[in-house]
Amino acid sequence: MTNHTCPPATVLFIFGGSGDLNQRKLSPALYNLFIDGWMPEKFSIVGIGRTAYTDEKFRKHLYDGIQQFSRRKDDKNGKWETFSKYITYLQMDAGNDADYQKIAEIVKQKEQEFGEHPNVIFYMSVAPHLVPQIASKLGPLNICHDTKCTRIVVEKPFGHDLKSAHELNELLRSMFDETQIYRIDHYLGKETVQNILALRFANALFEPIWNRNYIDHIQITAAETVGLENRGDYYERSGALRDMVQNHILQLLCMVAMEAPVSFDANEIRNKKVDVLNALRKYNKEEVHKYAVRGQYSDGWLQGKKVPGYRNEDKINPTSPTDTFAAVKFYIDNWRWQDVPFYVRTGKRLHEKSTIITIQFKQAPHFAFPPEAALTWRPNRLTISIQPQMDIRLRFQAKRPGQTVSLNPVDMTFNYKDAYGDNDPEAYETLLLDVMEGNATLFMRSDQVEAAWKVVMPIQEAWETRPPVDFPNYAPDSWGPEDAEALIARDGRNWITLPQSHQGVQTGS
Ligand SMILES: NC(=O)C1=CN([C@@H]2O[C@H](COP(=O)(O)OP(=O)(O)OC[C@H]3O[C@@H](n4cnc5c(N)ncnc54)[C@H](OP(=O)(O)O)[C@@H]3O)[C@@H](O)[C@H]2O)C=CC1
Ligand SMILES: O=C1O[C@H](COP(=O)(O)O)[C@@H](O)[C@H](O)[C@H]1O
């Protein structure tokens, strides 16, 4: 959320350089930054892994990723050839102490080549259990004491629970200063997510009604059609609550619920978000069944293809209790939000890929129109579509043309594609540029991560102590288990979905 400048000279080490995330997301993001002229004038990218790649083979591996996953492919204009010369590969085992000296040597060599001391960034694109090991071997290197230039980026999941997240924070902080630690939540890099702050705090229109006096309830849906995508090992130990709610969904909730920041200083924004997390009501184990619902998908059909149930996926225990769907009704106990429910849900193998936030306003206090005009009368609603649709729509009532008074809901829509075209930077582009510039606003501070774990732990623990009896309990191509419908229907409300096409009518009253 700040103006970017071209970052200073940088050496970026990617632990897990040979892995999936680097091929699918990180390298394409760096390539796009390069095309757009945002990479530093002097930089070097060093991929790290045990696989025996030569530099050339490693570049080819990344090239395949660019051709498959990047928003811009190689269009043979020489950009890829130039960019790829900045990439090298270091074969090393994270457990081997001696190999870390090679890193220090590369930095020294780059310092001479660049004629200045570069930023040194260590990106942890590896399984979580390797992070403490790598961090504690990097920590003693002299370069890591440079709090201005050296940074460590840690991928999600940040810990497996509150205790392990706390321990990881302690360990990282024993090696690095907090200002050097960048905990990624890639949702925060999405354009539509950053725009929530612009919508709320750059307009005078919304903020006066953004509270319990005018808002009936808020919904956040992050629905996915994909299943495990070869990440069965990780997912089996995670589940939907840990994988999506603890991080992405709670961050979206914070953006919607936070107080107005005084400035866009990283700590100011993060303070305001942590206030929300601290105010989120923590349920005790007995309350969990009332406020939270879990689900797991069965065998079925999705988008014309037969898909296996979760328990029949590769590397998954055939009696697995892991949740692939989670819905929770949250409350924020503060002056702005007292008694306003925040319904959130997320799941895999659902009907469509769609992340939306809906702010449903209260009914107008008095209805002066003839009763027959009220047949299709609906409350105002602001819908923020994060992805794949990217728009913001405000629903209000209009008089249908004709000689009778008939009101019906219509949408006023701001569509990103129409307004700005459709070549938005990917989340990882924004986040990597922020790291190179040393701007931590869109990254999680240690207290934020732990505060988010404190919110989900009681739910997670209650679920773990009471294994599910009804799994699998939803079919692919559905919107999740029936209990999730009941969770919101009990309050006289329903889940809101948006049509895939821009023309359609929203569901839900
Ligand atoms: N993939 C994704 O879409 C997402 C991933 N993440 C997170 O990013 C991280 C990486 O995920 P992903 O890329 O999918 O994982 P992969 O399993 O694809 O890659 C793991 C990487 O770690 C390297 N590695 C493993 N053991 C060692 C070791 N002892 N020494 C050196 N390198 C080692 C592997 O290299 P080699 O085999 O060559 O040794 C490989 O490059 C995880 O924390 C994941 O949760 C987060 C969001 C999305
Ligand atoms: O972090 C994760 O996010 C993805 C969803 O990300 P999106 O940008 O495609 O919405 C999810 O599939 C994955 O399980 C999770 O680890």
SS (H, E, C) 460-480: HHHHHHCCCCCCCCECCCECC
Contact between 288 and 306 (Cβ < 8 Å): no
Q: How far apart are CA 452 and CA 188, in angstroms?
A: 15
pLDDT (0 to 100) of residue 148: 84
Q: How far apart are CA 272 and CA 260, in angstroms?
A: 8
Binding residues: 50, 156, 186, 190, 224, 243, 348, 353
Q: How far apart are CA 490 and CA 485, in angstroms?
A: 9
Contact between 327 and 345 (Cβ < 8 Å): yes
Q: Choose one of 234, 243, 245 to mutate for the ligand 2 pocket test, by most ligand atoms within 8 angstroms of C-beta.
A: 243
Task: For residue 57, give the ligand nearest its CA.
Answer: 1
pLDDT tens per residue across span 300-312: 999 999 999 999 9
pLDDT (0 to 100) of residue 494: 96
Q: How far apart are CA 487 and CA 289, in angstroms?
A: 10
Q: Choose one of 14, 15, 20, 183 to mutate for the ligand 1 pocket test, by most ligand atoms within 8 angstroms of C-beta.
A: 20
Query: Nearest-CA neighbor of 92 among 82, 83, 102, 84?
Result: 102
CA angle 3, 125, 39 (to 5 degrees): 35
Identify whether 248 is a catalytic site residue.
Answer: yes
pLDDT (0 to 100) of residue 371: 86
pLDDT tens per residue across span 61-82: 999 999 999 999 998 899 999 9
> Is 159's C-beta closer than 6 angstroms to any atom of ligand 1?
no
- Is pLDDT of 5 > 80? no
Task: For residue 13, give the ligand nearest its CA.
Answer: 1
> Is 155's C-beta closer than 6 angstroms to any atom of ligand 2?
no
Q: Choose one of 248, 310, 356, 385 to mutate for the ligand 2 pocket test, by most ligand atoms within 8 angstroms of C-beta.
A: 248
Contact between 34 and 66 (Cβ < 8 Å): no
Contact between 295 and 474 (Cβ < 8 Å): yes
Cα distances from 249 to residues 116, 246, 350, in angstroms, run 41, 7, 17
Q: Quick one: average pLDDT of 154-160? A: 94
Residues 6+ apart with CB under 8 A from 236: 315, 316, 317, 320, 322
The active-site residue, picked from 61, 217, 248, 351, is: 248
pLDDT tens per residue across span 392-450: 999 999 999 999 888 889 999 999 999 998 888 999 999 999 999 999 999 999 999 99
Distance (angstroms) between ligand 2 centre and the Cα of 50 equals 26
A 10 A CB-CB count for 380 gives: 19
Task: For residue 184, give the ligand nearest its CA.
Answer: 1
Average pLDDT, the chain: 94
Binding residues for substrate: 186, 190, 224, 243, 348, 353
pLDDT (0 to 100) of residue 502: 43
Cα distances from 124 to residues 35, 45, 171, 215, 449, in angstroms, run 24, 14, 15, 41, 17
Q: How far apart are CA 351 and CA 348, in angstroms?
A: 9
Nearest CA to ligand 1 atom 16: 19
- Is pLDDT of 164 > 50? yes
Peptide bond into 157 cis (omega under 30): yes
> Is 224's C-beta closer than 6 angstroms to any atom of ligand 2?
yes
pLDDT (0 to 100) of residue 375: 80
Query: Among the atoms of ligand 2, which is closest to the Cα of residue 348?
Result: 12
3-state secondary structure of 115: coil
pLDDT (0 to 100) of residue 504: 45
Indicate the pLDDT class of residue 501, thresholds 50, 70 and 90: very low
3-state secondary structure of 492: coil
ipTM of the complex: 0.98
> Is 185's C-beta closer than 6 angstroms to any atom of ligand 2?
no
Distance (angstroms) between ligand 2 centre and the Cα of 223 equals 10
Distance (angstroms) between ligand 2 centre and the Cα of 138 equals 29
> pLDDT above 70 covers what percent of the chain?
97
pLDDT (0 to 100) of residue 503: 41
> Is 229's C-beta closer than 6 angstroms to any atom of ligand 1?
no
Query: Nearest-CA neighbor of 118 among 176, 45, 178, 22?
Result: 45
Q: Quick one: average pLDDT of 272-277? A: 98
Tokens of 139: 């920590």
Query: Among the atoms of ligand 2, which is closest to the Cα of residue 226?
Result: 12
Indicate the pLDDT class of residue 282, thresholds 50, 70 and 90: very high
pLDDT (0 to 100) of residue 500: 55
Residues 6+ apart with CB under 8 A from 139: 174, 175, 176
